[in-house]
Structures are given as structure tokens and as C-alpha cells.
Amino acid sequence: MVEDDNFVNWIELDTSNPIWGHFFTVSPLVVVGTKENDGYDLAPKHMAMPLGLENYFGFICTPNHGTYHNVKREGFFTVSFPRPNQVVMTSLAATPRDCGETDEKPIVYALPTVPATAIDGILLRDSYLFFECALDRIIDGFGEYSLIAGRIIKGFVHEDAYRVSDGDDEKMIRDMPLLAYLPYDRFAEIKDTRQFPYPKGFK
């Protein structure tokens, strides 16, 4: 426990080791698709986010994963945002590879997919949001991890998830809940939301 009176009831985290397993945070959960040999790969990722307010999207990966090398080699990737009722399919995309000669993930061919439109890739069918991305850059050096940044060249959102200026956002999310991941072993269905109280004059 911390002795400082301002931190009563607080536990200091040992930053000489990774801290992330000692608490929960809220993350998105996406499925990244890549071209792999003569086929494709799908992999769930939770360290994924827009990069600024332009059409850039990135995710964290490691050179120990096939996804990293697939993107580096091919120069593109897809992103699917699954719905809460697709959490099992999303989990199955993390099935370990076949350790035989092919080193493939046979489960990928059992998952429902649709082909991408502008790149040679696949998307997880029935997701509510799709991105097709061209590789912009890979930034290594976050320990053993890397940031893979892409430029969105095609995007599709399901009509039920498309926001309009005069629409009821609260009702839309309630009718079509969002999937959230709480690293490292829990997920949530988000359907109860509120308008954020921005201060007057905020831009």
C-alpha cells in the first residue's frame, strides 16, 4: 500500500513487470484479416484504434505472430468489427496454427467470411463494420510489440449502425449493441449509453 495520504486504499503497481493483468480496461475487439500463402488468416486483436481523425487505423501486433509478417509482406489488411453474438466466432479465430508442414489455421476456412472488394483479403461475415487497409508503416520497438498502421481505402458500415445527424444514437446502440473486450478474459455487450456532457464552448 502507498503511505502517501493522497493514495490511501491505492496499490502501487510494480512497473518493472507488465502491469496490465492487475486491473480491467475497456477495449474494442476486432478481427484482422491478412493474405497468407495461398489462403488467408484471421486473428482477433483488442489493441486496435483509429490513428487520429483522418482515415488511418492501427493495431498492436508482434513479430512472433503470422499477422505481422503477412501485413509486412503483402502491404494490406482487413478489419472486421464483430457483433456481440459473434464472440464465439471471434474467439475461434485465435485457434492455434497447425504445427505441420503448412503452419496454417484450418479454422479460418470454417468461419463465415466475405471477400474484400479492393484488396485480396477476407472479412468476418455479419460484422457491423468493415475496413480494407493499405499498410502505411510499421513501428517496432514497444518492447517485443509493434504498431501496424494502415490507411483505410474502403469502408462499409451496416445500415443499422450508420449514424445520421437527426438519428437517435441511444436507441440505435440499444437496438444494435456493441462488443467490448476487457483484457484479458472477459467481454461485454454495450447497449446502455448516455450523451457525454461536453463543457460549453468545447470544439
Q: Indicate whether 190 pLDDT > 90.
A: yes
| Residue 187: strand, helix, or coil | strand
- The residues that bridge with 41 in the sheet, in sequence order, are 34
Q: State the pLDDT confidence band at 105, using cuts at 50, 70 and 90.
A: confident
Check: pTM over 0.95? Answer yes or no. Answer: no
Instruction: Write phi, then psi, for 188 (nearest 5 degrees).
Output: -145, 155
Cell of 172: 440505435
Q: How far apart are CA 155 and CA 144, in angstroms?
A: 30
Q: State the pLDDT confidence band at 96, using cuts at 50, 70 and 90.
A: confident
Q: Indicate whether 15 pLDDT > 80.
A: yes
Q: State the pLDDT confidence band at 7, using cuts at 50, 70 and 90.
A: confident
Share of the chain above pLDDT 90, in %: 85
How many Cα neighbours within 13 Å face the side chain of 135?
20
Say which amino acid occupies 83: R
CB-count exposure of residue 121 (10 Å: 0-12, 13-18, 19+): buried
Instruction: Check residue 5 and give its pLDDT.
Output: 80
Is residue 65 within 8 Å of 80, Cβ to Cβ?
A: no
Q: State the pLDDT confidence band at 137, using cuts at 50, 70 and 90.
A: very high
Q: State the pLDDT confidence band at 203, using cuts at 50, 70 and 90.
A: confident
Q: For the chain, what is the radius of gyration of the CA atoms?
A: 19
As a CATH number, domain 25-190 is 2.30.110.10
